[in-house]
Amino acid sequence: MRSASRLRTVAAALLAVAAVAAPVRGAGMPSPERVAAALAVVYPALVNLTVVNEHFADGRALRGPGAGSGVIVSADGHVLTNYHVAGDATRITATLTSGEILDAEVVAHDPSTDLSVLRLRLEARDPEAPPLRPARFSERPLEVGDPVLAMGNPLTLSSSVTLGIVSNSERVFTDFLGNRLEDLDLGSGGPTGLFTRWIQHDALILPGNSGGPLVDLDGGIVGINELGGGGIGFAIPTSIAREVLAQALELGRIRRAWLGLSIGPVSRLGREDGALINSVVPGSPAEQAGVEPGDILLAVGETPVAVRFFPEVPALYLALSRLEIDAAVELAVERSGERLVLRATPGEMEEAVGRRGELRRLGITAQEVTGPMALGLQIPPRSGLLVTSLRAGFPAVGARPPVEHGDLITAVGERPVATLDELRAALEAATGDELLLALRRDEARLLSVVRLREPSSARWGGELPKAWLGVRTQVVTPELARAMGQPDLRGFRVTEVYPWTAAARGGLRIGDVIVAVAGEPVEASRAQDVENLRVAVERRSIGEQVAIEVARAGETVNLDIELEASPRTADEARTARQAELEFGVRDLTFLDRIDRHLDREQGGVIVTEVTAGGWAQMGGLESGDLIVAIDDTRLADVATFEETMRKVVDAQPEIVPVFVRRGWRTTYVFLEPEWAGLEPAAGVTP
């Protein structure tokens, strides 16, 4: 474990249970002889891992030492440990309990379970060295109250053992309100715990114990310790560890089936069978099969599904991950009281986060974009590299416009890039003192001139005027014009054309350079000319048909475009406050639909504020949520929200299901107010 801070410790969960998890000692604990016998079986397989970690910040790669534990599980020298111990390691050294030191290499990482499989480099051993003595997995079911030994290297104090009992053999973490499962985030591999019901125990766990074995009194491994604190520890059960090990040895990597849906328990819906589909990933096998949020999953193939409570959720995820990839499976779902049988073909699950690296020539660190990352960023997968940090004084910071944290580098010159290797190759192939980078920044498509000498920090951009042309632009500076191969070109290059606008209908395109408005040239060659296009448009009237002259692919094109009124802002949107449940909402605006990647027809209202301690907050509603439906009633706008809430207040149900969109995800929030004595509903603020 690299440091205590790397745990990001699910502190609330640990503190909540620490008071009732004090170590138990007394007549029920095993004799010293029994402990010694179990220890003798596993002790030779314990390894102390020291690693050199690599992480990326401030535009560069940074390295530092780390330590953890592991356990030998094969005669060929395979070692199980935690991913958060070995996942960022560029060098791994294993010290055996005999004092022998061996290098180790990675066989496979599995961030989603926080496990890694290593192999000791036995070829470097002394031929006279004794054979390894691997530990074995326990075959006995684990029960609450069973004594267990936690073995490892706490605080780098090698080959230590602590004694405790099993407090819970199927622990899951939920948010404080009990609305959703909480993933652990222990390192750079993304969240872990989707498939895991942890073994909770009270054997002392400290930083450095991570990856060490949890052992029963027969000397069998029952888990791999993951984290601890406040007198409580958690371990990954061997049912998961064995599966990861088997795939690593057979395939050299971990493969899992993926349908692309998230699930929740059904107890709050008053059901005893099925599982609630909370969200469906766009473009996923589940969506292609016709699965919809709100469906109740009844069966997978011939196997019925029953997920009443959160501890049953990981087991279903694990069962779905074991489906045969690319082999169709029937999913029985219930929708509006009707049973449907859908046919889905699972794909292969991608890693949550992409590979990171340093691009020293530019002075940046960047990350490859996986499918799950693309969903979170709301961009196409594998469409570029994400800029994760920049180094002061290096070319990317001084580019025109400057490269920024969060930009997506899509091309170097005319050469598309989507991987670190492709970007490095493109940079190596570039000649001269200037590079042209194609960037995606939100929905804008920018071209940035990177001067490999004499960096600058100039910026430019555009603002929306009262009379409005539905585009974003950048000034065509002399540097940019030269990089585009048109040194005499001046004007405003279109970086984004808003959909559903007169500009889009009139034929403006990304890459067009606006050179004149209504026959009057728009002067633009310096960063400070950024306001000139806004001023030229603002002189005209809303609704006026205006000639827009653009340079396109070396030709002059004239377009007639109607100037529109500037779209309504969030401050101008119609609002309402729901007094009984204590939250406010507003209508969607044009820019909401653009920024949130919504369809033009998407209905709903945006939560503007949630009162601390109110029923909405207690149910898990969050500011910024897009409420799509309440109690199965789809919302179009604030007016339908008010009408729906009036019916809810009149009916006063025990539970109000609220279907929300949060980023790209959808989920259900369950509000459970006590209606007696609540104040009357508030009105609408225009």
What 329-332 contacts at long range (C-beta under 8 Å, 24+ apart), as own/partner pairs, is: 329/300, 329/301, 330/299, 330/300, 330/301, 331/286, 331/289, 331/291, 331/297, 331/299, 331/300, 332/297, 332/298, 332/299, 332/300
Instruction: Name the residue among 234, 232, 310 with its Cα closest to residue 20.
Output: 232
> What is the C-alpha to C-alpha distance for residues 567 and 467, in angstroms, rounded to an integer?
10
Measure Cα distances from 25 to 21, 32, 164, 230 in Å: 12, 13, 8, 17
Exposure class string for 541-560: b at 16+ Cβ within 10 A, else e: eeeeebebbbbeeeeeeebe
Q: What is the DSSP letter of 317?
A: H
> What is the C-alpha to C-alpha distance for residues 465 and 535, in angstroms, rounded to an integer?
8
> What is the C-alpha to C-alpha distance for residues 387 and 403, in angstroms, rounded to an integer?
8
Whether 32 contacts 149, CB under 8 Å: no
Instruction: Name the residue among 685, 686, 625 with its Cα closest to residue 659.
Output: 625
Strand 415-416 versus strand 408-412 pairing type: antiparallel
Whether 580 contacts 678, CB under 8 Å: yes
Residue in 69, 210, 262, 448 annotated catalytic: 210
Q: Is 114 noted as a catalytic residue in this protein?
A: yes
Residue in 69, 78, 84, 216 annotated catalytic: 84
Q: What is the DSSP letter of 247?
A: H
Q: What is the DSSP letter of 403?
A: P
> What is the C-alpha to C-alpha distance for residues 190 and 172, in angstroms, rounded to an integer?
18
| 55 burial level (CB within 10 Å; 0-12, 13-18, 19+) | middle
> What is the C-alpha to C-alpha distance for residues 354 and 345, in angstroms, rounded to an integer?
25
Tell me the Ramachandran region of residue 330: left when phi exceeds 0, alpha when psi lies from -120 to 50, beta otherwise.
beta
Where do we find the tokens 């040895």?
A: 249
Q: Is 78 noted as a catalytic residue in this protein?
A: no
Which two tokens mark 532? 């000139």
Contacts of 627 (CB under 8 A, 6+ apart): 585, 604, 605, 606, 607, 635, 641, 658, 659, 660
> What is the C-alpha to C-alpha distance for residues 533 and 475, in angstroms, rounded to an integer?
9
Residue in 69, 78, 110, 114 annotated catalytic: 114
Which residues face 168 on adjacent strands? 200
Q: What is the dihedral of CA 616, 621, 627, 630, to 10 degrees?
A: -50
> What is the C-alpha to C-alpha distance for residues 180 and 459, in angstroms, rounded to an integer?
43
Contacts of 318 (CB under 8 A, 6+ apart): 195, 240
Q: What is the DSSP letter of 367?
A: E
Whether 632 contacts 293, CB under 8 Å: no
Whether 602 contacts 624, CB under 8 Å: no
Whether 73 contacts 102, CB under 8 Å: no
Q: Is 201 noted as a catalytic residue in this protein?
A: no
Strand 136-137 versus strand 220-229 pairing type: parallel
E strands within 172-313?
A: 198-201, 213-215, 220-229, 232-237, 257-258, 261-264, 275-280, 296-300, 303-304
- Residues annotated as catalytic are 84, 114, 210
